[in-house]
Amino acid sequence: MNITRYINTTYLVMGLIYTVLFHGVWLFSTQFEIISGTVSWYLPAGVRLAAFLLLPLASWPLLLFSEKLTHFILFHPGGVLDNTAFLSGSVGWYLVHLFISPAVVCGCAYIFRRRFAAPYIDNVRSTLSTLAFGVLISVALGAVFLGRRAIELQTDVAAFLSILFDFSLGDFVGIIVLCPLLFALYTRQYIDKNESTLFITVGTWSLTLVFSSYLYSQNINISYQIKYLAVFPALFLSYRYAVFGSALSCSLIGITAFVVASQSSLPPIEHQFYILALCVSCLILGSSINQSSKLNKKLARNNEHLEIAVQNAQALAAKLVVVQEDERKRLSRDLHDDFGHRIVDLKLQLSLVNSSKDHDLLISKIDALYQAMKKSIGGLRPSGIDTLPIESVIERSDIITTLKRANIDFSLNLIGTPINFKPDQKIHIYRIVQEAVTNSIKYANAKTLSIDISYKSQSATFAVTDDGEGIPETTEDSGKFKPTLGLLSMKERAKLMDGTLNISHNYPMGTVIRLSISANNIQ
């Protein structure tokens, strides 16, 4: 066993600070408790719980050693305080104070720390668990300390349980008044908003308590009003400053209860339950606000990542469309320049060979092959797309041929003065119109269809309207409309031109697909 692990300068300082704070608030608590009728709290319980939940496990031996050693120095006969009431000479006293109670504290704190991490009051679940743990350890220590005395004095069970309730309640009040603030300070749960509001609120609260004491000295008692007016700043601090605000409120609530208790004749238990009710409310509110804030920040980060992913996906889709068109253009050019030249050359050579038995048949097959190649080229890149207006390209393209073959009554309407588009804009317009017509034929079972091209001074509009079955509003799987790959491609092409694609799907009244391009985006 390496003893240096437990004894070093840092742990010695921790033990010294813990001892000074523990016995300092102990003296503070006991001095106030001798005033008749005041609130009963045991503040050292809050210091002890905070220390054993926050400080390293390896520091625990020095914490216990310094606490017990200081206790003996203060209260042994001839000591600083020389109060044998807190230093019994019985074997049971030494057994409880030196072994059983430290074992209870360390065992319970160790189990709790394995499941929860500091600051313990940063979300609703950990806050409720910490409060429950505070109740548990208060009852456990009360049972140990009072049990020893009950056995020695042969106290009956009813009296023992009554005393245990008062002891545990005082311990838990001390925990809830002091422990949350120590949690917040040690784990640096500081505020990140305007501090002036905090100072004004706390200052006003404190001045109100001072004013109440002054009025009481003048035989004017407003303690009842002060007690319940304190609810508002307590809840405000918890709401605005979350963990730190609720922790600070708990300490101020304890001070308020003591001031009010010193000015009233109510029994201490009335003030104890006031402290517990308001402190628990503040802690739950503060932890809820903190938890909500963290979730909102996490959601905002996820939204940022999602937006970046969407932007990347859109950029990739746009790049794919451009690459696809470039590849189609290259294939069209290669087919026309290479294979077209070879077919024409082959046909010319065959025409010179008059003796060939299958001359006419071969010429016919070559003509068919050439026409098939021209059709493929037209599918890859429409004829005239680089030189003719877009309405002329559509009029002489496979779009019209496909409509005729499908026996659909169609019309191509032009309104306004044609505009010269860039070649890449024309290919996007053509593909959108082509996809809209294809969808009407394949899925809508349309009988009539119109392609309307409208040119205005500020915009150009291309609309494909059919009387088919339309696009259904819902699907059986999710109950929501799911765009097809073709529709997504049309929308991406519209974005590439900074245009707007509107799809009206009033099932079963047909479909209108309208592409609008602002004049600012036209050459």
Comparing 87 with 478, the larger pLDDT belongs to 87
Pairing of strands 409-415, 448-455: parallel
Q: What kind and span of H or E run contains 395?
A: helix 390-395
Q: Cα 348–353–354 angle (5° rounding)?
A: 120
Residue whose C-alpha is closest to residue 279's, from 142, 138, 134: 134
Cβ pair 290, 242 in contact under 8 A: yes
- Which range, 269-273, 286-290, 398-402, 471-475, is most confident? 286-290
Residue whose C-alpha is closest to residue 198's, from 166, 154, 242, 159: 242
Contacts of 347 (CB under 8 A, 6+ apart): 363, 366, 367, 370
Q: Average pLDDT of 347-370?
A: 64
* Ramachandran angles phi, psi of 28, nearest 5°: -60, -45
pLDDT digits (tens, 9 = 90+) for 99-140: 999 999 999 999 999 988 888 888 999 999 999 999 999 999
pLDDT, residue 82, reads 59
Count CB-CB contacts under 10 A for residue 192.
9
Q: How far apart are CA 388 and CA 392, in angstroms?
A: 6
pLDDT digits (tens, 9 = 90+) for 230-251: 999 999 999 999 999 999 999 9
pLDDT digits (tens, 9 = 90+) for 429-465: 998 998 899 888 888 888 899 999 999 888 899 999 9
C-alpha gyration radius of the chain: 43
294-303 in b/e burial notation, b at 16+ Cβ within 10 A? eeeeeeeeee
Judge whether residue 506 has pLDDT over 90: no
pLDDT digits (tens, 9 = 90+) for 46-69: 999 999 999 999 899 988 988 888
Q: How far apart are CA 183 and CA 247, in angstroms?
A: 8
